[in-house]
Homo-oligomer: A and B are copies of this chain.
């Protein structure tokens, strides 16, 4: 029920591929809109379908705390719970434990933390993270990894790497025993760590290859380090990763960076940026960012982006969007989120075309000229 095939690789190593899960066929490179709490914020599932999203991301940490993975399991899994028939990738919960919760204590066993919602104490282990994701029934699950701050001292990075590898092995063992027993259909991906140390990145990659996953993610990047470093660390991993397995760079990225990661051999990405920026009145267009609250748009009867084919740009004007944001209307977030997700999915469509036509470097230059300056 799962497969991944690389259809074409360009001179630089960018891959045009196809990932098949029990729920959808995903043309890669693909961007996954983030649906943290079983919804992509401000978008009905009908809107995601209209936008052509084939896979979204769900956050294990949030869903574990609320409404709880056992409830979702009981109600038939996350797809049924949220009525989403496309694919779902869930993270392991690790990143959010390290970024959102209080009183984190990492031991060899796992990570003990307090919920940011009610202060209740929980222990997340590699086995538990796998169990939760099996309960959620996502198409692709991630192993628990240890996420550390950036920049991290080498010694801390080494410790976290050892732990990440040990946890990956335990997660894989648990998954193989349990998933088979429960006849669950899920792919489990390993996560390369190693902070900003090239040799640690290589070491992490090799250790994960020993464990053998159907796909690999690169984690712990795009957390504050320069884009150049993100690319270098990603390249260390992708150089060693098997060509026939999908590669997922976690939590990226800005519009102009997506093609860079693809050029390094990345097949999948996710980021809250399109929806978060939308809620903050930052709209992406083929000519750069439009900060729609700006007074210059008060009488602008053009669509957000004259080149855009989304249903928002076909119907509504910048003047109207600006008014909705100024008035604090929920409809502002709905329309802006719809457009920005369309923009990201359209970038990926253009990237896939550029790979096929051997034109990715050129596309990347254009995007950098439009977006590298200014805030995300």
Q: Name A residues whose Cβ lies closer than 8 Å to a Cβ of B.
A: 37-39, 41-46, 62, 66-67, 71, 74-76, 81-83, 298-299, 301, 311, 315-317, 319-320, 322-324, 326-327, 329-331, 333-335
* CB <8 Å contact, A83 and B330: no
Q: How far is the CA of A76 from the CA of B317 in the complex (A)?
A: 12
Besides A38-B323, A38-B327, A71-B299, 19 other A-B contacts (C-beta < 8 A)? A37-B323, A37-B327, A39-B329, A39-B331, A42-B334, A44-B334, A45-B315, A66-B323, A66-B326, A66-B327, A67-B298, A71-B298, A75-B301, A75-B317, A76-B301, A81-B320, A83-B320, A330-B330, A330-B334
Q: How far is the CA of A62 from the CA of B316 in the complex (A)?
A: 20
Q: How far is the CA of A320 from the CA of B80 in the complex (A)?
A: 10
A333 contacts which chain B residues (CB < 8 A)?
A: 330
Residue of A83, A315, A320, A335 contacting most chain B CB atoms (<10 Å): A320
* CB <8 Å contact, A41 and B330: yes
* CB <8 Å contact, A41 and B75: no
* CB <8 Å contact, A42 and B83: no
Instruction: Count identical subunits in the complex.
Output: 2
A311 contacts which chain B residues (CB < 8 A)?
A: 46
* CB <8 Å contact, B299 and A75: yes
Name the contact of A315 in the complex, choosing from B67, B74, B83, B319 (C-beta under 8 A): B83
A67 contacts which chain B residues (CB < 8 A)?
A: 298, 319, 322-323, 326
* CB <8 Å contact, B334 and A299: no
* CB <8 Å contact, A41 and B71: no
* CB <8 Å contact, B329 and A83: no
Known contacts A67-B298, A311-B46: does B319 contact A75 (CB below 8 Å)?
yes
A317 contacts which chain B residues (CB < 8 A)?
A: 75, 81, 83
Known contacts A71-B298, A75-B301, A299-B75: does B320 contact A38 (CB below 8 Å)?
yes
A330 contacts which chain B residues (CB < 8 A)?
A: 41-42, 330, 333-334
Least Cβ–Cβ distance between A323 and chain B, in angstroms = 5
**Which residue of chain B lies nearest to A333 when distances are taken between CB atoms in the complex?**
B330
Residue of A67, A311, A317 contacting most chain B CB atoms (<10 Å): A67
Name the contact of A319 in the complex, choosing from B81, B316, B322, B326 (C-beta under 8 A): B81
Least Cβ–Cβ distance between A49 and chain B, in angstroms = 11
A81 contacts which chain B residues (CB < 8 A)?
A: 317, 319-320, 323
Least Cβ–Cβ distance between A273 and chain B, in angstroms = 17
Q: How far is the CA of A311 from the CA of B330 in the complex (A)?
A: 20
Q: How far is the CA of A311 from the CA of B47 in the complex (A)?
A: 12
Name the contact of A324 in the complex, choosing from B39, B62, B71, B323 (C-beta under 8 A): B39
* CB <8 Å contact, A44 and B335: yes
* CB <8 Å contact, A44 and B331: yes
Q: How far is the CA of A323 from the CA of B78 in the complex (A)?
A: 12
